[in-house]
Each structure stands twice: as C-alpha cells, then as structure tokens.
Copies of this chain bind each other. A is one copy, B any other.
Amino acid sequence: MIEVNAPVTMSDVARAAGVSTATVSRVVNGHYGVSARTVAQVRSAIEQLGYESSLVATSLRRSRTNVLGLVAHSFQSYTAEVLKGVMKALSRSGFDLIIYANSDLYGSYSEGWEQRHLTRLSGTLTDGCIVVTPWGDFRTRTPVVAIDPVRGSTAPSVISDNLAGATTAVEHLLGLGHRRIGFIAGRDSLASAWSREEGYRAALTTAGVPVDPTLIGRGDFNPESATPLARVLLQRPDPPSAIFAASDGMALKVLEVARELGFSVPRDLSVVGFDNIPESALTQPGLTTVDQSMYQLGYEAARMLKSLVTGEWDEPSQIVLPTSLVVRDSTAPPKGAARP
C-alpha cells in the first residue's frame, strides 16, 4: 500500500503555529523580524507536521533557487564522468543539481528538445544550466555553459584541446611508421568532432602523407555508428594499418570488429581512441587514447556556471583544457615494420 499523505503546506504550518504564512516563510528562510518565541513555535510546528518547502512554489516566486540544471542528450560513460565532475564542483556549495532528460531520447527525436528543456528549466526552476552536447546556441533567461559546444558557438563553454590531442595521436601513429591511417569521425556539427578531424588532417599533411578521403568514415560519436564503418574499412582489399577513432566508444567498437574479422591488435592493426573513458584502461589490449578529463570538463563547467550565476565572473568565457596521449597496448609499428 502506498502511503499518500496530503501534502503539508506552509499555511498548514501557519495554522498549527497560530501565525501567518509570512512569518513561517521568514522563519524558514531565517529572515529578520521574528521573535525567538515565535521562531520556536513555528519550528516545532514544522517538525511535527514534517513540512518541507515546495521547490516548485519557491522557484516560481523567487528569482534565485540555488538549483543548477544539466541537460544531456544521452547517458554514456562520457556523461557519467562529466556528472561526477559537476557534482564535485557543486559539493557543499549550496547549489543542488537537476538533470533533465526527456523521454524521446531513444527513437526519432525532435531537434529542438534541448532548447525546449532549457527554457522550461530556466523559466524559474534553475539559476543556470550546463548543456552537454547541444545542437546550437540557446536563448535563455539564465546563464548557460556548454560542454563541447557546436562549431562556431561563442557561448560560455568548456572544451578540450581537441586539435592538439588529435594531432598528437596521429603523430604517434606516424612515428610508429603507419602511413595508411583510417579515421572515424564524430558528429560533425560539434566543434570537438571538427577539431579532431582537423588534427588528423594536419598531422598527415605535415608529415607529407596525402589525406585519403576513402579512409575517413563518418560516425556521430555514438559507439554503434562505428561498427559498420570499421567493417567497411577493414574489409577493403587494402585495409589501413591503423585507425584513429574520434571517441573511445567508437574505438572500442573498432576493436570489436577487428577481433571479429580476425585482425590481431596491435599486430595487424593499431587503434587509437579519444576521451580515455574508464573502460579503455580495462580492455584487452588496453586502448591507446587521448586523455581528456571529462571529469575536469564537468568540474570546470560547474565552476564557471557557479560564478556566472553569482555574478563574480572574471575568467575567459571559453576554457580550453589540455589533453594528453595515453599509450597503451593497442598501437605498435605496422606489420611491414619499415621504420622510416
């Protein structure tokens, strides 16, 4: 049986304590102008009735709610890591966090849901929002910080140094002697996907290796999107000797497909990812990847949002976090092993 108590409202407390709702409100919020005796009465009434202020009613009336919002488009490892960073930054800061997720996440989903959620939240519920992987720029009443924004966005955002990271990754492969290096791209509306591809192209060009468009597969950061692309690359008569995937999730799928097709990694094929999600350290072989601290991304975004909300902003509105190459066991010199 479900215990369905009538909700205890402020006026219930007021009636029980023999005061007005205004006084109760003052007591709840610790405002000035209530005698100690009254405070005690009200507190005891609150205690007895088990009153909790309604988040909704409060936020409707108040401008500040001390609640920050987060809108994400899915819940992969990526998001979970970001979340941990956000929580850490918010811990004991007085800000609570609301994550809003819509039910159309799977299936055909309407383009504008992020904007819709944002306006619905920022209306009054939250003091500001963090958006993970958005589709565009947003109009809101309250501040928004984007993690990995769309290309060309000028909104406050936190992002990794994707260009440098991707360049380093491909240079690593080139250094091992690879010349035919495949690439699996991310969702190209995102700045990160674009920069990673840029890094790939730049590293090749600098090394004097021509960019072969047929070695580039167009994924969308969704791990599943990489499977058919990897299959195509590896079933060619002349498969690449290495594949650089724009995300670890996709790189892990490449490993899967490689195993399935009888490629031994790293003997027959080298694989490099991007992100360094926890799983990447645990696979067999361990995935060489570009570390971007998603935890840090979340942490910085939350810190940035906090100061935007409290109005003490004095840092650049675009934070770029460094990346670093983590070499594990999925990369080795190519089979021919002709060191340049």
Contact = CB atoms under 8 A, between A and B. Distances in A.
B56 A2 contact: no
Interface residues of A, number: 64
Nearest to A125: B56
Interface stretch (A18-26, A75-83, A191-199): A75-83
- Please state the number of chain copies in the assembly: 2
15 contacts: A2-B144, A2-B308, A4-B140, A6-B141, A7-B123, A52-B123, A55-B121, A55-B123, A75-B87, A80-B80, A94-B103, A96-B100, A96-B102, A278-B279, A282-B284
A155 B4 CA distance: 12
A95 interface: yes
Contacts of A99: 98-101
A53 B120 contact: yes
Contact of A54 (B107, B120, B156): B120
B92 A106 contact: yes
B75 A77 contact: no
B107 A91 contact: yes
Given A50-B139, A56-B60, 7 more contacts: A2-B143, A2-B156, A3-B140, A91-B107, A97-B103, A99-B100, A278-B279
A292 B180 CA distance: 43
A112 to B, nearest CB: 10
A96 B140 CA distance: 20
Contact of A124 (B2, B54, B98, B101): B54
Contacts of A95: 103
Contacts of A105: 87, 91
A308 B4 CA distance: 12
B100 A98 contact: yes
Contacts of A103: 87, 90-97
A119 interface: yes
A320 to B, nearest CB: 19
Interface string A165-209: 000000000000000000000000000000000000000000000
Given A55-B121, A96-B100, A125-B56, A141 B107 contact: no
A100 B6 CA distance: 22
Contacts of A267: none
A50 B122 CA distance: 14
A44 interface: no
A116 B52 contact: yes
